[in-house]
Amino acid sequence: MREPTWFRWTRRVGLLVLAAFTLLPIYVMVSSSVKPLRDVQGAFTWLPSHVTLQPFREMWTTIPLGRYFINSLVVSTISSLASVAIALLAAYALSRYRFRGRQTFSVVVLSTQMFPGILFLLPLFVIFVNISNATGVNLYGSRLGLILTFLTFTLPFAIWMLAGYLDSIPRGLDEAAKVDGNGPLGALFRVVVPAAIPGIVAVAIYAFMTAWGEVLFASVMTDASTRTLAVGLRGYATQNNVYWNQIMAASLTVSLPIVAGFLLLQRFLVSGMTAGAVK
Amino acid sequence: MSEAVKASLTPKSAPAAPSRRRRRRRELLPYVLLLPAIVMELLIHIVPMVVGVAISFLKLTQLYLRDWWHAPFAHLDNYRLALNFSKPAGKALLHSFWVTLAYTVVVLAFSWLLGLAAAILTQRPFRGRGLVRTLFLVPFALPVFASVITWNFMGQRDTGVINHLLVDQLHLASDRPFWLIGGNSFWMIVVVTVWRSWPFAFLVITAGLQSIPGELYEAAVLDGAGFVAQVRRVTLPLLRPVNRVLILVLFLWTFNDFTTPYTLFGDTPPRQADLISIHIYQDSFTTWNFGSGSAMSVILLLFLLVVTGGYLAVANRRTEHA
Per-residue pLDDT band for B99 (boundaries 50, 70, 90) equals: very high
Length of chain A: 279
Q: Which of residues 226-255 of B touch A (CB under 8 A)?
A: 227, 241-242, 245-246, 249, 252, 255
Report pLDDT digits (tens) over A203-240.
898 899 999 999 999 999 998 889 999 999 888 877 76
* C-beta atoms of B294 and A1 within 8 A: no
Lowest mean pLDDT among A38-47, A185-194, B249-258: A185-194
Can you give the pLDDT at residue B12?
45
Residue B181: phi, psi to the nearest 5? Answer: -135, 160
β-partners of residue B73 are B58
DSSP for A95-120, written as a single string: HH---TTHHHHHHHHHHHTTS-THHH
The yes-or-no verdict on residue B13 having pLDDT over 70 is no
* C-beta atoms of A122 and B293 within 8 A: yes
Per-residue pLDDT band for A275 (boundaries 50, 70, 90) equals: low
Residue B205 CA to residue A277 CA, distance in Å, equals 9
Per-residue pLDDT band for B151 (boundaries 50, 70, 90) equals: very high
Report pLDDT digits (tens) over B229-271.
888 888 998 898 889 889 999 999 999 999 999 999 987 889 9
Predicted model pTM: 0.88
Can you give the pLDDT at residue B18?
57
Percent of chain B at pLDDT exceeding 90: 45
Can you give the pLDDT at residue B3?
45
Can you give the pLDDT at residue A47?
93
B256 CB neighbours in chain A (<8 A) are 114-117
β-partners of residue A141 are A222
The yes-or-no verdict on residue B90 having pLDDT over 60 is yes
Please, what is the average pLDDT of chain A?
Answer: 87
Of residues B55, B154, B256, nearest to A25 (C-beta): B154
**For the ranges A248-262, B92-106, B148-162, the one whose mean pLDDT is highest:** B92-106
The yes-or-no verdict on residue B319 having pLDDT over 80 is no
B159 CB neighbours in chain A (<8 A) are 40-44, 244
Amino acid at A104: T
The yes-or-no verdict on residue A96 having pLDDT over 70 is yes
Report pLDDT digits (tens) over B279-300.
999 988 888 888 899 999 999 9
Q: Where are the alpha helices (DSSP H) in chain A?
A: 5-33, 37-41, 54-62, 65-96, 102-112, 118-135, 143-167, 171-179, 184-186, 193-212, 216-221, 229-237, 244-264, 266-278
Size of interface A-B (CB pairs under 8 A): 296
Residue A222: phi, psi to the nearest 5? Answer: -120, 155
CATH of domain A62-278: 1.10.3720.10
Can you give the pLDDT at residue B317?
80
Give which of A122, A160, A233, A251 to mutate to test B binding, by max B Cβ within 10 Å: A122
Can you give the pLDDT at residue A198?
83
CATH of domain B87-288: 1.10.3720.10
Of residues B68, B140, B154, nearest to A130 (C-beta): B68
Q: What are the boundaries of each domain within chain A?
A: 62-278
Residue A184 CA to residue A225 CA, distance in Å, equals 44
Can you give the pLDDT at residue A149?
92
Per-residue pLDDT band for B14 (boundaries 50, 70, 90) equals: very low
Residue B71 CA to residue B82 CA, distance in Å, equals 19
The alpha-carbon gap from B200 to the nearest alpha carbon of chain A, in Å, equals 9
- The answer to whether the beta carbons of residues B239 and B208 sit under 8 Å apart is yes
Average pLDDT over residues A145-150: 93
Q: Which residue of A has its CA nearest to B33?
A: A89
B203 in A contact zone (CB under 8 Å): yes
The yes-or-no verdict on residue B89 having pLDDT over 60 is yes
Average pLDDT over residues A252-270: 83
Percent of chain B at pLDDT exceeding 70: 93
The yes-or-no verdict on residue B216 having pLDDT over 80 is yes
* C-beta atoms of B45 and A230 within 8 A: no
* C-beta atoms of A118 and B300 within 8 A: yes
Higher pLDDT, A5 or B146: B146
Can you give the pLDDT at residue A123?
92
Higher pLDDT, B135 or A273: B135
The yes-or-no verdict on residue A183 having pLDDT over 90 is no
The alpha-carbon gap from B115 to the nearest alpha carbon of chain A, in Å, equals 10
Amino acid at B244: R
B40 CB neighbours in chain A (<8 A) are 86, 151, 155
The yes-or-no verdict on residue A251 having pLDDT over 70 is yes
A122 CB neighbours in chain B (<8 A) are 52, 55, 284, 290, 293-294, 297
Q: Which residue of B has its CA nearest to A213?
A: B143
Can you give the pLDDT at residue A189?
84
Percent of chain A at pLDDT exceeding 90: 42
Helix, strand, or coil (residue B132): helix
Residue A277 CA to residue B207 CA, distance in Å, equals 9
Of residues A130, A237, A274, nearest to B152 (C-beta): A237
Nearest CA to B189 out of B136, B152, B134 is that of B152
Report pLDDT digits (tens) over B265-281.
987 889 999 999 999 99
B28 in A contact zone (CB under 8 Å): no
Residue A127 CA to residue A159 CA, distance in Å, equals 25
Can you give the pLDDT at residue B4?
45
Report pLDDT digits (tens) over B137-149.
999 989 999 999 9
What ipTM, to 2 d.p.?
0.89
Q: What are the boundaries of each domain within chain B?
A: 19-70, 87-288
